Amino acid sequence: MGKRGYHHGNLRQALVEAALTLIEEKGPTGFTLSEAAKLAGVTPAAVYRHFAGREDLIAEAARQGFEIFADLMKYAYDSGLPSALAAFEATGRAYLAFARKHPGHYIAMFESGIAPNRTPELAAATTRARSVLEQAAETLSEHIPADRRPPASMFSAHIWALSHGVVELYARNNIATSPFSPEDLLEAGIGIYLRGLGLIAADQ
């Protein structure tokens, strides 16, 4: 896989791009800092001017991934308005699209074992991505009586888990097979969940 583009002289970003390539090819624990340095065209010693170790390099890749992820979901949500339901479903499709288009980032974010609070910057990016889904869930559930309305954080966590499961099983790793596309599986799953909350009529 070819290296992604970066501005000449931006060593920090060059190392992140190299790490993303290696993560896609070998997984988050399958490469060394020396390999990342070689792919970026610098000496191993140069890496330590920017990162204390491989985990910090992966954490930066994850941070950038969460920023892209949040931007994509926010754009999808905004594009689906004024219908809260359409906006919510669009964020689910954006999740699938992100996993397919940015596999290196996705692995760094969700499969590297890097804690979301490893750095303040990563924690902030993670929170921002989560807040997009929470906003969508809160807007969509406004019509549910308060005594039956799930917290937006729980609502969005359920949808995040559903989306993540479809990605892992059917869209990225091909762990399981299905006669239905990942998009159809996710849309049907979200539909079942929303019907259970009374947000979609039973005959829709």
In a domain, 91, yes or no: yes
Region 124-149: what's the mean pLDDT?
Answer: 87
Using DSSP's 3-state secondary structure scheme, residue 194 falls into helix
Return d(Cα 61, Cα 41) in angstroms, integer. 18
Predicted structure pTM score? 0.85
Write the CATH number for 20.
Answer: 1.10.10.60
pLDDT at 178: 82
In a domain, 110, yes or no: yes
For residue 178, which phi and psi values (nearest 5 degrees)? Answer: -155, 145
Q: Do 183 and 93 have their domain in common?
A: yes
Return d(Cα 86, Cα 198) in angstroms, integer. 16
Task: Judge whether residue 7 has pLDDT over 70.
Answer: no
Count Cβ atoms below 10 Å from residue 125 Cβ, excluding itself. Answer: 22
pLDDT: is 157 or 3 the higher one? 157
Q: Do 13 and 106 have their domain in common?
A: no
> Quick one: pLDDT band at residue 9, thresholds 50, 70, 90?
low
In a domain, 204, yes or no: no
Q: Do 33 and 132 have their domain in common?
A: no
Longest dimension (CA), the chain: 63
Count Cβ atoms below 10 Å from residue 93 Cβ, excluding itself. Answer: 19
Q: Do 45 and 65 have their domain in common?
A: no
| Domain range enclosing 156 | 58-196
Q: Do 103 and 171 have their domain in common?
A: yes
**pLDDT tens per residue, range 82-125:** 777 777 788 888 889 999 999 999 999 999 999 999 999 999 99
Region 53-81: what's the mean pLDDT?
Answer: 91
Highest mean pLDDT (candidates 14-23, 45-54, 148-157) = 14-23
In a domain, 203, yes or no: no
Q: Do 129 and 66 have their domain in common?
A: yes
Q: Do 47 and 68 have their domain in common?
A: no
The helix (run of H) or strand (run of E) holding residue 201 is none
